[in-house]
Structure 1
Amino acid sequence: MIDFWLAAGLLLLVALSFLLIPLVRGRRAQSEEDRTALNVALYQERLAELQAQQAEGVLSPAQLDSGRAEAARELLADTEGAAPERVSRLGKPLPLLVAVLVPVLGLGLYLHFGASDKVELSREFAQPPGSLAQMTNRLERAVKAQPDSAESIYFLARTYMAQDRPADAASMFERAVGLAGRQPELLGQWAQSLYFASNKTWTPQVQALSDEALKLDPKEVTSLGLKGINAFEGQRYQEAVDYWKRLLAVLPPNDPSRSALEGGIARASDKLVQNGGTVEDTPPVAAQGARLKVHVTLSDALRGKVEPGDTVFIFARAVSGPPAPLAVKRVTVADLPVDVELTDADAMMPQLKLSNFPEVQLVARVSRAGQPTAGEWIGRSQPLPSNVTARQALTIDSPDQ
């Protein structure tokens, strides 16, 4: 921020110069006017002396005329080059008052309407965080600077969950739902955070949120896993198996949580058999994969404004859903034009996959800071079905706002 304040101070000095320089010049002009008035007074005094000497008979009329001419020449020589008298209606106090008020008022307006916090945040986000606590601090400040950004609030909620702060996460998820709408993924994660915040107590609110999420999307993964846990804790082992099998069916093949989920299904099945029951083979919900082919180019108008090493994020996000990207690929400007393929395997989180959303938007963003949420240039597609098979063309051609 030091260079920012130095630049602001330099601009302030330039602005003050427009006020103070005329004032200094006015003082010089006033000194000149005072000197001219003194010379005129001396001239008039000399004329009075000459007339008195002529009246006393000391000077002849010719000598009087010669003395007058000499005094006039001296007056002319003393006042030659003097600027004409200027009349100021503002006076001296007003420019000085304005010179004081300009920086004070400018600083006050900037602190109230300016974005110094956002400038500082953009500088910090340009550097990778040294720890999870540092990332949390940055996200908290980003949410404070942009309280209407559902994306920042969502990522802060996820970070709180990673720090085992479910109560704080629940508060953030609730805000995200208020901004982004009652999307099933947000409702499921809100229910999960409330469940852990209440020491794994299944409250009516958790029940209502998870039910609403699964009603909107029967494949919502967080709610499926959460309901399976609740059923297992309540010794409803067949119900737990059913929920976890549904969840297993919609997870990507390479998802790291599959092995733990399969272990949970096995334990629930063993408990059911030990209690004298039999495991019913409930057919799982078939997984529907999504695969988007995207051809990304850079407009000719931007080629001179980017660097080859600038990062390019290519991602798909839900038209009606959480703000987080569903699938992401990362390249550089030097790779453009490039063909990429976005699939469920590119999901940032298991519960947010292309196949879970009927309609998505493709986005390509150039970010010199390497941040997927903000950059310099962007290209967006029109909403399209997530199961479209034709290759989509995407051009980066607009400022990122």
Structure 2
Amino acid sequence: MIEFWLAAGLLLLVALSFLLIPVLRGRRAQQEEDRTALNVALYQERIAELQGQVEEGVLNAAQLDTGKAEAARELLADTEGADGARVSRLGKPLPIVAAVLVPVLALGLYLHYGALDKVELTTEFAKPPTSMADMTQRLERAVAAQPDSAEGLFFLGRTYMSQNRPADAAQLFERTVKLAGRQPEVLGQWAQALYFAGDKKWSPQLQSLTDEALQGDPKEVTSLGLRGIAAFEGERYQEAVDYWQRLLAVLPADDPSRAALEGGIKRAADKLVAGGGALAQKPAAATALMKVRVALGADLKSKVQPGDSVFVFARAASGPPMPLAVKRMTVADLPADVQLADADAMMPQMKLSNFPEVQLVARISRAGQPTKGEWIGRSQPLASSTTAQQNLTIDSPDSQP
């Protein structure tokens, strides 16, 4: 803020200079006018004196003319360099009043309509927080300054949840939904906050929110975990296992919560068995895994660069043209062994196993674009259930597709 006020003060001085300099110049001009008037009066007095001497017979006509010429030269010498007559004077109160009121008015308008609070927040967020409380205060100030920011509301809600303030978090997530729309992630967070704020009691509202979230995204992790918790608390252990297994399938392999989740699945299974039940094992869904060895044609080795991108993908032999599964590497990696599986699907509903026949494609793109390149290799249509390794050579100009 010190830098802001220094800059504002400098601008104020510049503005004052534009208004005060003409005033000072006007005063100097006034002094010049006063001196010129005095010289003219002295000249007229000298002429009258010469005229009196002529009348007294002290001077003759020639001496009178000489005296007048001498007085005129003196007057001219005294008035040289003086400014011409001015139409108006600037030494009036109006410029002084304007010099003071204009900056004051500008500052008042800025403080009312300006973004001083946002400037302060930007400066504050540029520094690392000293504590969790400091970060919370910053987020609260950001939300107060920008109440229509869905991102700010969402992150503050997550912060409140980490501080065991679920009721406050629920209000923020509800506001986020109104601003950003009913996105599955936000619906899941809202439902979780309401669940813990309501003493872990399941309600029709929670059922509706998690249903909507999982319909929009079957892999929405917060809703899956919450449904598992609610089922476990309600002693519906098979249902808890099912939800937590679905959650476990979408978590990254290095996610630190996997161990706790696996422990929860085991506890639910043990309670189910201890109660005389049997854990239902769902049949594994059919998956596809295709192996391909990608190599570069001998004639192309001198025409490509080691850093050129190589895209290896599978697409439906009869169906949408977009890739079903894709891997990326560079020419320097060739030859390479690549695996394309359902886990590499770009969209959940566009898996390899959803199509009976697929085609394998490898494309070199100097611009790094998977849909457009310079060289390509294609396989014949293959069953998506093929397990034998396929060989794919990039050796043809790319003419899409």
Q: Give TM class, smaller chain.
A: 0.5 to 0.7
Indicate the residue corresponding to 1:71 in structure 2: 71
Counterpart in the other structure of 2:388: none
Equivalent residue for 2:101?
101
Question: Residue 245 of structure 1: CA displacement?
Answer: 1.7
Instruction: State whether residues 47 and 68 of structure 1, in contact with CA within 8 Å, keep that contact through their aligned partners in structure 2.
Output: yes
Which is further off, 185-194 or 240-249? 240-249
Change (3 A) 1:14 1:41: same
Q: Which moved more, 1:38-47 or 1:234-243?
A: 38-47
Match of 2:256 in 1: 256
Normalising to structure 2: TM-score of the pair? 0.66
Matched residue SS, 1:88: coil
Asked if 1 retains the 8 angstrom alpha-carbon contact of 2:224 and 2:244, the reply is yes
The CA distance in 2 between the partners of 1:113 and 1:287, in whole Å, is 60
1:162-198 Cα deviation digits (max 9, x unpaired) = 1222222222222322232211111101111122222
Alpha-carbon shift at residue 57 of structure 1 (Å): 5.2
Tell me if the contact between 2:36 and 2:79 (Cα under 8 Å) persists in the aligned partners: yes
Unaligned runs of 5+ in 1: 289-338, 340-353, 360-387, 395-401
- The Cα shift of 1:53 comes to 4.8
| Equivalent residue, structure 1, for 2:159 | 159
Contact 2:26 2:89 (8 Å CA) reproduced:
no
Aligned residue for 1:180?
180
Which shifted more, 261-270 or 144-153?
144-153
Larger Rg: 2
Q: Is 1:199 matched up with 2:203?
A: no
Q: Counterparts of 1:358 and 1:15 in 2: how far apart (Å)?
A: 64
SS in structure 2 at match of 1:31:
helix
Cα distance change, pair 181–48 in 1 and its aligned pair in 2 (3 A): same
Larger mean Cα displacement after TM superposition, 136-145 or 215-224: 136-145
Change beyond 3 A, Cα 1:283–1:26: farther
Give the drift of 1:115: 3.3
Q: Tell me, yes or no, if the aligned pair for 2:238 and 2:269 is still in contact at 8 Å.
A: yes
Deviates more, 1:65-74 or 1:176-185: 65-74
Measured in 1, the distance between the counterparts of 2:163 and 2:222 equals 18
User: Given that residues 36 and 78 in structure 1 are in contact (C-alpha distance below 8 angstroms), is that contact kept between their aligned partners in structure 2?
Assistant: yes
Q: Where does residue 135 of structure 1 map in the other structure?
A: 135
Q: Is the 1:249–1:287 Cα contact (8 Å) retained in structure 2?
A: no
Q: Is the Cα–Cα contact under 8 Å of residues 249 and 284 in structure 1 kept in the other structure? A: no
Residue of structure 2 equivalent to 1:81: 81
| One-letter amino acid matched to 1:80 | E
Q: Report 1:390-401 matches (<5 A).
A: 393=368
- Is residue 241 of structure 1 aligned with residue 255 of structure 2? no
Q: For residue 11 of structure 1, what is the aligned residue in structure 2? A: 11
2:225 is aligned to: 225
**In the alignment, residue 279 of structure 2 is paired with which amino acid?**
V
Task: Tell me the distance in 1 between the aligned counterparts of 2:118 and 2:283.
Answer: 51
1:25 positional shift: 0.9
Q: Distance in 2 between matches of 1:258 and 1:212?
A: 25
SS in 1 for 2:17: helix
Return the letter of the residue paired with 1:71: A
Indicate the percent of aligned positions where both proteins have the same amino acid. Answer: 73
The 5 Å alignment of 1:377-392 reads none
Which moved further from structure 2: 24-33 or 193-202? 193-202
Q: 1:136 to 1:286 in 2, by over 3 A?
A: farther
Report the Cα offset of residue 393 of structure 1.
Answer: 4.0
What's the counterpart of residue 26 of structure 2?
26
Cα 1:75–1:156 change in 2 (3 A) is same
CA distance in 1 between partners of 2:272 and 2:188 (Å): 27
Aligned length: 304
CA deviation after TM superposition for structure 1 residue 283, in Å: 4.9
Moved more, 22-31 or 71-80: 71-80
Normalized against structure 1, the TM-score is what?
0.66
In structure 2, the residue corresponding to 1:78 is in which secondary structure? helix
C-alpha contact (below 8 Å) 1:242/1:282 kept by paired residues: no
Give the whole-Å Cα distance in 2 for the aligned partners of 1:211 and 1:18.
Answer: 68
In the TM superposition, what is the alpha-carbon distance from 1:221 to its structure 2 partner?
1.1
SS at match of 2:175: helix
Asked if the contact 2:192/2:226 (under 8 Å) is kept, the reply is: yes
Q: Measured at CA, do residues 113 and 393 of structure 1 come closer, stay the same or move farther in structure 2, by a change above 3 Å?
A: farther
Letter in 1 for 2:44: Q
**Runs of 5+ unmatched residues, structure 2:** 289-332, 334-343, 350-360, 370-401
**Residue matched to 1:342:** none
Q: CA deviation at 1:276?
A: 2.8
Q: 1:62 to 1:286 in 2, by over 3 A?
A: farther
Give CA deviations for 1:90-149 in whole Å, capped at 9, x if unaligned. 662232122112321332333344433333333333332221111222222333344343
- Preserved CA contact (<8 Å) 2:23 2:91: no
Listed one character per residue, the Cα deviations across residues 287-323 of structure 1 (whole Å, up to 9, x for unaligned) are 99xxxxxxxxxxxxxxxxxxxxxxxxxxxxxxxxxxx
Q: Residues 206 and 58 from structure 1, CA distance in 2 versus in 1: closer, same or farther, beyond 3 angstroms? A: farther
Decide whether the 8 Å contact of 1:250 with 1:286 is kept in 2: no
> How many angstroms apart in 1 are the aligned matches of 2:38 and 2:287?
102
Q: CA deviation at 1:356?
A: 9.5
Deviation at 1:59, TM superposition (A): 4.8
What amino acid maps onto 1:281 in structure 2? Q
CA deviation digits over 1:315-367, x for unaligned, max 9?
A: xxxxxxxxxxxxxxxxxxxxxxxx9xxxxxxxxxxxxxx989779xxxxxxxx
Structure with greater contact order relative to length (CA < 8 Å, sep ≥ 6): 1
Counterparts of 1:275 and 1:10, CA distance in 2 = 80
Please give the alpha-carbon distance, in whole angstroms, between the structure 2 residues aligned to 1:255 and 1:133: 27
1:267 equivalent in structure 2:
267
Q: Using the TM superposition, give the Cα deviation of residue 213 of structure 1 relative to its aligned residue in structure 2, in angstroms.
A: 0.5
Displacement after TM superposition at 1:36 (Å): 1.1
1:272-291 correspondence runs (5 A): 272-283=272-283
